Structure 1
Amino acid sequence: MEPIVLNFEMMVVLALLAFTIFMFVTEIVRVDIAAIIVLVLVGALSYFPGLGGLADMNHIFDGFASNAVISIIAVMIVGAGLDKTGLMSAVAAWILKLGGTKEARIVPIVSGTVGVISSFMQNVGAAALFLPVVSRISARTNIELSRLLMPMGFCAILGGTMTLVGSSPLILLNDLIETANQDLPDNLQMGTYGLFSVAPIGLALVITGLLYFTLFGRWVLPKSRNRANAASARSMPDYLNRVYGLQADVFEIDIPKGSKLEGHTISEIMDVHHLYIVGTYYNGLRVVAPIVTTEILTPCRLAILGERHAVEDMVRAYGLSKRRIRKELDIFAEEFASTNAGVAEIVIPPNSNMIGKTPKDLGFRKALGINLLAINRVGETISHMQTEDHEACHRIGLFELQAGDTLVVQSRWSRLTRLKKNRNVVVVTSDFPQEELRPQKVGWALFFFGISLGLILFTDVRLSLCLLIGAVGMIATDVLDIDDAYNAVGWNTVFLLASLIPLGTAVQRTGTADWIAQQVMALLQGWPVWTLQAGVAILATVFTLIMSNVGATVLLVPLAISIAVASGGDPAIFAMTVAISTSNSFLIPTHQVNALIMGPGGYKVSDFVRTGGIMTVLFLVVSLITMNMFL
């Protein structure tokens, strides 16, 4: 190969690369802003004499219309559509039922599921679809979102190495091998790979990722990041502890047939035991905010809001064992998840028709579907629950409402959203999800998701178009409206990726990538075959951090094959080394999946450097060993 001479244009590109890495690592400004600055620099420098090769100014903004960026926009909309129907909430409930609320169990279940899904669809799509699921799990378990998203994202990337359609480099590999075969002698002709040829490698990598986060997650994952779900700020335990100083929560209790509770009304039980019965389940019928005159029928389940000692006292009073109190919500898990319901405040305005009437007269539970927990009136709190500040009121439902009363209520967020239209009250609480689910649209959502998935798996239609078909279909059938679609897109992610594409193009256009590759290979000349293969893997890893993985694959596969032929190695394995190693993108958030989770997880670049650095080394070691064992 003819030596490539380092020229001024290449030096400028290398300086831009160094500047980009410096900006990312130091985070002087946000990474998306840093990426936009780099985009502007690439464009501006292209007008200087001798630097015209940095960028084609007619295509400097093509990154915003690239397949990767449009795919991310579309898959975010598709994910939002599925979430809008409540489907993702059901998936979250299933995962919680399977894994409980412990991080050590939830992480491998979520991450493993995403890893398997991403083996058949683009990893960014799998990650985007599970983003709302993980967000809901975080809110319901109080596990920091930052401790769930990174394992999921990394396993989505790892899962793309399990099949030959899991990532773009692997999809390209056979074509590149066939092209290279045209220049190779008959005795060095390479065979193409089958769909599951890489399965042992990908499976080993996914298992490695799962073990890494399961065993060492407590030390390597970032802590104390902001949760993405606003509902958690108004969850019942948080609110009651903050306002009343009560360690209250919702408990689910099994009431056996023939219990002494049978025949008692909900009102009687609440008055005597200073707690709230906020849900009942009998004969397959689940009722939230049941009417207080309802009589208890057995066997049943009760959802009770109160302090643990009060709930235990009630259970003992009716001859039941404390074991009847479930450790976790089961039947009512979804109803009282902080993503779906919580505590809010509403105020009685001066012109309200409720003034002078009691909650019992108004039938709060029946008419509004809300549980009245307390009335705050001129510094006084009227409530069933007793605290150091006030005595418990036995009949809160008999107090006449006055103008200015602040009512503390427990409600589903969807009902609270509808209550905002009621002129008789003013909903003070604003930090809750104010969108209404559209479960009646689940059929359309699944239909268009299925169309997109089918096109991705069984046709050669461009990925971005496949996903846009699903996104547009959901908008057209009113699964979500256009404003919801715009709000679903993480525009910081879009600008981060689109703005970095011109830099990757400049690395290729100016020959900088070829020069770097040649210098590295010159250093490794004469080394054993396995070290050359490791060098190719490291080079592919570095290249995929600064340019697209497709570009890195197209550039390095021919080079890797040439090195293998010259050193007596297996050219097919060297080609596979490049295709696999271009998925080793954990060190900085330039991969689409990492960019996707960075904002919601509240991650810094240093988080990726610390956690992703170890994952990068593990990836190299495991992939090199398994490639030589199974290929």
Structure 2
Amino acid sequence: MTVQIALFFLVLAAAVYLFVSEKLRVDVVAILVMVTLPWLGLVEPADAFSGLASNAVIALIAIMILGHGVDRSGALNWIINFIVSMTSDHRDRLVLFVTTTVGAVSAFMQNVGAAALFLPAVLKISRRTGMPASRLLMPMGFAAILGGNLTMVGSTPLLMLNDLLRHGGVSDFRLFSVAPVGVVLVVAGALYFFFFGRSVLPGVKKKKHLQPPMSIQQMLIERWRIPTTIYRCRIPKESPLAGKTREDSEMWTEYRVYLLALADGEDVLYAPWRHTPFAAGQVLTLLGEEPDLERFVNDFELMFKKEDRPFEQLEETDQVGFAEMVIPVESPCVGKTIRDISIRKTYGVEPIMLFSGDRKQRGDFSDEPLERGNVIIVHGRWRQIRAMADGIHFMLITPIELAHEVKHPRPAVALLCFVGAVALAASGVPIALGLLTGALAMILFRIVPVDEAYRAVDWKTIFLLAGLIPLGAAMNHTGASGLLASVMAGILEGAPPLAVFVSFGLLATLLGLFISNVAATIILVPLVIAVAAPLGVSPRALALLVALCSSNTFMLPTNQVNALVMSPGGYRNADYLRAGAAVTVFFLVTAVAFVYFFRW
């Protein structure tokens, strides 16, 4: 073993450790790898930064802009209305329509992007039809992962594969080369949840009688058990509350009371900042359980009036209400607290409840670190809630219809740009060129403003991909791939081709499940290209199998899509293991059979 090979394995081990331990953000780890490799002389500086200009990165940027344009145009509303109309009398069809639709859309955008796009829509469908969200969200998430195997741009591993193959001197794949296996996986996944969903999904109980339809606010209050008692309180001059702030009064910690609004004369301030001082004459709108409210108004000698119909007022207003916010997987808020981000001061909303996995927190959770997939129930004005939901820091999953809201522009034009980009990529034009042309058309036709196009790109994912691509180049340049290939060839010497495919498919599945599908692909593809010839199999076929199986991540919420739907669906780790085990086995068998018999 040479010094260069030893240094490469040291960098690889450090990267894997940082990925697993999550001591640093994944994009920071990738950039660290990108910078370390040329400093150690394992690759040339030009090769280290080549990932930023790779076809995979350019295509991914274009896909993100195209997906944002379709979402912004309102074209998804057509799909939602179609699904609801087709399943209004047959609720069991919902799973089939949702999974196949999401799977099809996921073929042309990243898995987590497709899941994030459809999460509010699926929750809206659940509320309209009365189908439990737990019956729909996990199937939707799995369909997004499965649908990523319909095209070479549907998942990050497949998107990267062609670049890695070209670098290894192997011919690449066309856009729809993997469509046969993708179709089988999506259809099988839809049928699996259609026939066995009641057995493998949690919290599904058949109701004898259908309940009358509830409004969105009613469903939120019932689902999360949000208090509905509202007191309007005036602060008299002699009140001990005058001169204090909401934090000084221990409103959350001691009384579990929420301050929804503060009126001072004609001015109304929704979700006042924690350091806003109270003064005599102000009118407070308080929310909480009645015993807690009574104790608060008595202790602070407030004049109060209980709202007789607070719930109906929430329904009739078009200005304020409750909403659910999800922390996206790549949100900058992950690891921060409500206090760190100053949610009231920054966004003007009142946090009511935090749902993390199977834990529900009420009262004061200001110092609780936020995790990806957490759900926060907030109360505030609709416009402030909509502004808060930028898709980067927070994602809104409660449908909101603003009065006088400007409708999204020209969905037909947006779909034309999207379909045109896919057609170009399928016609033989380089995939990145075809998709970027469609993204540019979105901007030129003013479907997506230029500034929004930049914001639509998840730069964390871009740098993760660009930073790890040089790792594959270093593996070849240092000779590490040849060394590993000789070891693997010795282990699998004399094994039939089918055993070779199963072994590498299983290895890619495990690495994808516990590290990441991107890292698994970059590590394994150079290895299988080197080991294929000694084992008597096609390097192209073995590399494709690795890229497919690295996305076989259904049994744990480590996958970004699974993490995204975990809290909104009320799932636990055991739910993924129970529902995902059969999908994982079927995925592995299908991928191996496809690659083995087609012999790419």
Q: How does 1:38-53 map to 2 (within 5 A)?
A: 38-44=30-36, 46-47=38-39, 51-53=40-42
Match of 2:535 in 1: 563
1:153 counterpart letter in structure 2: A
Aligned equivalent of 2:62, options 68, 71, 74: 74
Instruction: Write out aligned runs for 1:199-278 (5 A).
Output: 201-210=181-190, 235-238=217-220, 242=226, 244=228
Q: What's the CA shift string for 1:263-310, capped at 9, x where partnerless?
A: xxxxxxxxxxxxxxxxxxxxxxxxxxxxxxxxxxxxxxxxxxxxxxxx
Q: Which of residues 10, 25, 36 in structure 2 aligns to 1:15?
A: 10
Residues 513-532 of structure 1: pairs in structure 2 closer than 5 A:
513-532=481-500
In 1, the alpha carbon distance for the partners of 2:119 and 2:441 equals 25
Tell me the distance in 1 between the aligned counterparts of 2:50 and 2:150: 29
Looking at structure 1, the residues matched to 16 and 164 of structure 2 have their Cα atoms a distance apart, in angstroms, of 29
Return the alpha-carbon distance in structure 1 between the equivalents of residues 488 and 35 of structure 2. 29
2:115–2:144 CA contact under 8 A, matched in 1 = no
State the shift of 1:522 in Å: 1.0
Q: State the shift of 1:155 in Å.
A: 1.0
CA distance in 1, matches of 2:417, 2:589: 40
Q: CA RMSD in A?
A: 5.4
Residue 490 of structure 1: CA displacement? 2.8
Against the structure 1 CA distance between its residues 9 and 149, is the aligned structure 2 distance closer, same or farther, given a 3 Å change threshold? farther
Q: Does 1:411 align with 2:313?
A: no
Corresponding position of 1:154: 145
Cα distance 1:14–1:150, how it changes in 2: closer, same or farther (>3 A)? Answer: farther
**Secondary structure at the counterpart of residue 429 of structure 2:** coil
Distance 1:58 1:97 in 2: 54
AA aligned to 1:151 is F
Residue-by-residue CA offset, 1:531-568 (whole Å, 9 max, x unaligned): 2343454566678846585895576357425522xxxx
Residue deviations 1:198-226 (CA, integer Å, cap 9, x gap)? 66544443344445666777898899xxx
Q: Secondary structure at the match of 1:158?
A: coil
Q: Check the 8 A contact 1:85/1:437 in 2, yes or no.
A: no
Quote the offset at 1:584 in angstroms. 1.0
Q: Supply the AA of the counterpart residue of 1:85.
A: S
CA–CA distance in 2 between the matches of 1:117 and 1:135? Answer: 15
Partner of 2:549: 584
What residue number does 2:467 align with?
Answer: 499
Amino acid at match of 2:548: S
Q: Mark the CA change 1:536 to 1:452 in structure 2 (over 3 Å): closer, same or farther.
A: same
Partner of 2:246: none
TM-score, reference length from structure 2: 0.56
Q: Deviations over 1:455-501 (max 9, x none)?
A: 122241342x3333333332333323234333333333333323322
Structure 1 residues 445 and 13, CA gap change in structure 2 (3 angstroms) = same
Residue 468 (str. 1) matches residue 436 (str. 2): yes
What does residue 303 of structure 1 align with? none
- The residue aligned with 2:123 is 138
Counterpart for residue 350 of structure 1: 266
Where do 1:215-614 residues align within 5 Å? 235-238=217-220, 242=226, 244=228, 350=266, 379-380=304-305, 385=309, 409-411=316-318, 428=381, 431-434=384-387, 436-463=405-432, 465-538=433-506, 545=517, 549=521, 556-557=528-529, 559-564=531-536, 571=537, 575-586=540-551
Quick one: distance in 2 between partners of 1:379 and 1:97?
47
2-side partners of 1:614 and 1:12: how far apart?
A: 40
Q: Take 1:432 and 1:478, find their aligned partners in 2: how far apart are those partners?
A: 25
**Could you say which residue in structure 1 is the equivalent of 2:239?**
none
- Shift in alpha-carbon separation, 1:492–1:64, aligned structure 2, 3 A: same
Gaps in structure 1 of 5+ consecutive residues: 1-5, 181-191, 224-232, 247-343, 353-376, 393-405, 414-426, 565-570
Q: Are residues 28 and 150 of structure 1, via their aligned partners in 2, closer, same or farther at CA, if it must alter by over 3 Å? A: farther
**Matched letter for residue 92 of structure 1:** I
Q: What per-residue deviation string (whole Å, max 9, x for no partner) do you get for residues 301-331 of structure 1?
A: xxxxxxxxxxxxxxxxxxxxxxxxxxxxxxx
- The structure with the larger Rg is 1
User: In 2, Cα distance between the equivalents of 1:540 and 1:132?
Assistant: 28
Structure-1 separation of matches of 2:3 and 2:202: 41
Amino acid at match of 1:458: S
Residue of structure 1 equivalent to 2:256: none
- Given that 1:95 and 1:109 are in contact with CA atoms closer than 8 Å, whether structure 2 keeps it comes out as yes
Which digits, 9 at most, give the CA deviation of each residue in 1:14-58, with x for residues without a partner? 2333333333333344xxx144134325523643xxx312x3223
SS at match of 2:48: coil
The 3 A distance-change label for structure 1 pair 535 and 37 is closer
Q: Is the contact made by 2:30 and 2:467 (CA closer than 8 Å) also made in structure 1? A: yes
Letter paired with 1:520: M
Q: Residue type matched to 2:532 in 1?
A: A
Deviates more, 1:436-445 or 1:504-513: 436-445
Structure 2 partner of 1:36: 28
Q: Secondary structure at the match of 1:453?
A: helix
Instruction: Identify the residue that residue 64 of structure 1 maps to in structure 2.
Output: 52
CA distance in 1, matches of 2:381, 2:545: 54
Mark the CA change 1:139 to 1:116 in structure 2 (over 3 Å): closer, same or farther. Answer: closer
* Match of residue 621 from structure 1: 589
Q: Is the 8 A contact 2:200 2:575 kept in 1?
A: no
What is the alpha-carbon distance in structure 2 between the residues aligned to residue 83 and residue 199 of structure 1? 24
**Aligned residue number for residue 307 of structure 1:** none
* 8 Å Cα contact 1:123/1:156 also seen in 2: no
Find the counterpart in structure 2 of residue 324 from structure 1. none
Which whole-Å CA distance do the structure 2 matches of 1:485 and 1:538 have between them?
38
Give yes or no for contact 1:587–1:608 (8 Å, CA) kept in 2: no
Name the CA distance, whole Å, in 1 between partners of 2:453 and 2:216. Answer: 26
**1:27, 1:215 → 2: CA distance?**
38
Letter of the aligned partner of 2:226 in structure 1? Answer: R
Please give the alpha-carbon distance, in whole angstroms, between the structure 2 residues aligned to 1:594 and 1:486: 25
Cα distance in 2 for residues equivalent to 1:536 and 1:575: 13
Query: Residues 389-437 of structure 1, C-alpha deviation per residue, up to 9 Å, x if partnerless?
Result: xxx9xxxxxxxxxxxxx98743389xxxxxxxxxxxxx84555224955
Pick closer, same or farther for the CA change 1:195–1:537 going to 2, 3 Å. same
- Which whole-Å CA distance do the structure 1 matches of 2:508 and 2:429 have between them? 26
- Percent identity reads 24
Q: 1:91 to 1:212 in 2, by over 3 A?
A: same
Summarize the alignment of residues 70-219 of structure 1 with structure 2, pairs less than 5 Å apart: 70-99=58-87, 106-116=94-104, 122=108, 124=110, 128=113, 131-141=116-126, 143=133, 147=138, 150-160=141-151, 167=158, 201-210=181-190
Supply the distance in 2 between the matched residues of 1:214 and 1:444 (Cα, whole angstroms): 34
Q: Is the 8 A contact 2:63 2:435 kept in 1?
A: yes
* Cα distance change, pair 348–87 in 1 and its aligned pair in 2 (3 A): farther
Distance (Å, rounded) in 1 between the aligned partners of 2:52 and 2:319: 39
C-alpha spacing 1:107/1:10, structure 2 compared with 1 (3 Å)? farther
The normalised TM-score by structure 1 is 0.54
Task: Please give the secondary structure, in 2, of the residue aligned with 1:380.
Answer: strand
Aligned partner letter, 2:119: V
